[in-house]
Amino acid sequence: MISVVCFVHICVCVCVCFVFCFSCFPRDRQTVFVCLSFIRAAMAEHLSQSELDYPFKLLEYFNGFRVSKMIFSACELGVFDLLLKSQDALSAQHVAQELGTSMDGMERLLDALVGIEILEVETAQGTALYSSTDVANLYLAKGSAKSLHDMIIYRSQTVYPLWNNLVDAIREGRNQYEKTFGLPSGHFFQAIYRSEEEMLKFMGIMSCHWVLDGHDVVTAFDLSRFQKVVDLGGCTGALANEMARAYPASSVTVFDLPQVVEAAQKHFKQEDSGVTFQSGDFFSDEIPGADLYVLARVIHDWPEEKCLALLKKVYETCKPGGGVLLVEALLFENRRGPIMAQIFSLNMLVQTQGRERTPSEYTHMLNKSGFCNVQVCRTGKSYDAILAVR
């Protein structure tokens, strides 16, 4: 029989994996999926009776939101930036003084971050001294090239309040911008882009996604035969730059709303990759001709009828022999996971008009729009790839 200590340890591992996925904490997603599968298998024999005796797993899940908020708060306060700049480990009192917080509150936060292995602690002459882990320095501090700071701030200030109204989203079947922020729910991108500050935060989180997953999705298939690529809704150009690096012989263009293109060129560093930008609305304007169209995290925003309208438009504009690359978080056909995609689908309910879908659901829409030879590639990380040709 499994010991209570081992059981508790397994439960903690489950919670940490779950919370890190929900918070987009930068672990290797394939490793997370493997860990979750191993944990499920290890616990399957013992879970039912053990959980009835004492609900360790449920209690850990109940506390998941607190772990997320710990990470969010540390980022907003600048904890990871301060520790990265410091050459030495710092006391809670020093961190509190530098960041203008109470010593008691900061000490508790730092201890909790040590508990989830984001920070490290050592004791010198009776004083606890805190320092960042390599993971925190790489992903949670602003200055890193792989920083997910923008993602975390957006999760904390926009997504988290929306999720407070999840019950209403489920009851009503619609996003919660009106109840959360007093904004019309029918035009959610107007809500997302309601101010330059909000638009830049959203654009920042889009870039963060492709820091983690960009290379994997653009190399899921050999796309070198497509000479002209258009990334529809390509935002800052982060994914387009990954495409240009992977296929230097191809020309890559980002097609997005005028205000997005202007902000991308003004506020986000553009690499010398040859990526160009073109302004327009892919629903109402003519889209540029191309051999390959990329729709990354676009189809999941909309109900099926609007997805079909866009896919048919892409099909009609696509050159013969060309194709479309969809990048989305794919659900399993049996609806039993992956947990990250299931959480994303709930987020689509809370925040947009869309949902995450199974490969067969995407295949159905692609075939109905005229595309054929649909191929699916699961990357084992946050986002997967689907390629279809005309």
User: CA–CA distance from 189 to each of 3, 164, 199, 218, 255 (Å)?
Assistant: 51, 20, 9, 26, 16
What's the CA gap between 237 and 219, in Å, rounded?
17
Cβ–Cβ under 8 Å, residues 362 and 368:
no
Ranges of H-type helices in 88-237: 92-99, 103-115, 134-139, 149-154, 160-163, 166-172, 177-181, 188-192, 196-218
Is the separation of the CB atoms in 119 and 110 below 8 Å?
Answer: yes
Q: Which of 94, 149, 209, 300 is catalytic?
A: 300
| CA–CA gap between residue 243 and residue 215 (Å, rounded) | 8
Q: State the Cα–Cα distance between residues 344 and 79, nearest whole angstrom.
A: 28
Known catalytic membership, residue 187 = no
Rg (C-alpha) for the chain, rounded Å, is: 22
First to last CA, the chain: 57
Positions marked active-site: 300
